[in-house]
Chain A
Amino acid sequence: DSGVTQTPKHLITATGQRVTLRCSPRSGDLSVYWYQQSLDQGLQFLIQYYNGEERAKGNILERFSAQQFPDLHSELNLSSLELGDSALYFCASSVLGVYTDTQYFGPGTRLTVL
């Protein structure tokens, strides 16, 4: 158990809908990262937050947005969902948010868009 929690574990929704994925980092970790993993694209970095501020942006679509709250939990919002958004979404956390930190990954949220 990495100490990172993600809810929900599974999510099934329809095209065009909007969903919110939630992540609670390990106690003491200030940085949160979001990743998408699909069969054809592999693990893709989406976005990183550090202590409430956006720090780095990867291949995140404009339909997706995220934020980190004062209690350091983070939410990833996915809107106007398409079939291709079906994937595993992972959240990871680290202490300082630099890439020499160890990132601890959560168990993931499996999103299925029908």
Chain B
Amino acid sequence: SQKIEQNSEALNIQEGKTATLTCNYTNYSPAYLQWYRQDPGRGPVFLLLIRENEKEKRKERLKVTFDTTLKQSLFHITASQPADSATYLCALVNNNDMRFGAGTRLTVKP
């Protein structure tokens, strides 16, 4: 069956370091992969989209990679700040099917 795994439930890092979050999937062939940020009690906020034929996408301090051979996406936040603390969700899309990972809760400590 299709499975989406995000590396860990929680990730704690020091301010200024690079946070790296992982999204692995099995038995699925996404055409696109999206990353969202979600703060407690609020709706997800779209961050980045990467297509299957793209290796890397950047937006300010954010970088996403997509390796369809490894079936993995990495999401990096460079020069992390306490304000980056949130849950980050990956979402895989194929045709009209969209599936979310369980999310990784990132805490950036000052």
A-side interface residues toward B, CB under 8 Å? 2, 4, 42-45, 48, 55-56, 58, 90, 92, 99-100, 102-108
Flag if A2 contacts B43 (CB, 8 Å). yes
Interface flag for B99 (CB, 8 Å): yes
B34 proximity list for chain A (CB < 8 A): 99
| Cross-chain pairs A/B with CB under 8 angstroms, 16 sampled | A4-B43, A42-B103, A43-B44, A48-B96, A55-B96, A56-B97, A58-B97, A90-B43, A90-B44, A99-B31, A99-B34, A100-B49, A102-B46, A102-B49, A107-B42, A108-B43
Query: Whole-angstrom distance between the alpha carbons of A42 and B5 in the complex?
Result: 12
Interface of B, secondary structure class, is: strand
B-side interface residues toward A, CB under 8 Å? 31-32, 34, 41-46, 49, 51, 89, 91, 93, 96-103
B91 proximity list for chain A (CB < 8 A): 43
Query: Whole-angstrom distance between the alpha carbons of A109 and B36 in the complex?
Result: 19
Flag if A103 contacts B46 (CB, 8 Å). yes
Closest 7 CB pairs of A and B: A105-B43, A56-B96, A43-B100, A99-B93, A42-B102, A102-B46, A45-B98
A11 vs chain B, min Cβ distance (A): 15
Query: Whole-angstrom distance between the alpha carbons of A56 and B102 in the complex?
Result: 22
B45 proximity list for chain A (CB < 8 A): 2, 105
Q: Given that A99-B32, A99-B93, A100-B32 are contacting pairs, would A58 and B43 also be in contact in the complex, using a CB cutoff of 8 Å?
A: no
Flag if A42 contacts B100 (CB, 8 Å). yes
Q: Which of A44, A45, A56, A104 contacts B46 (CB 8 A)?
A: A104
Flag if B49 contacts A43 (CB, 8 Å). no
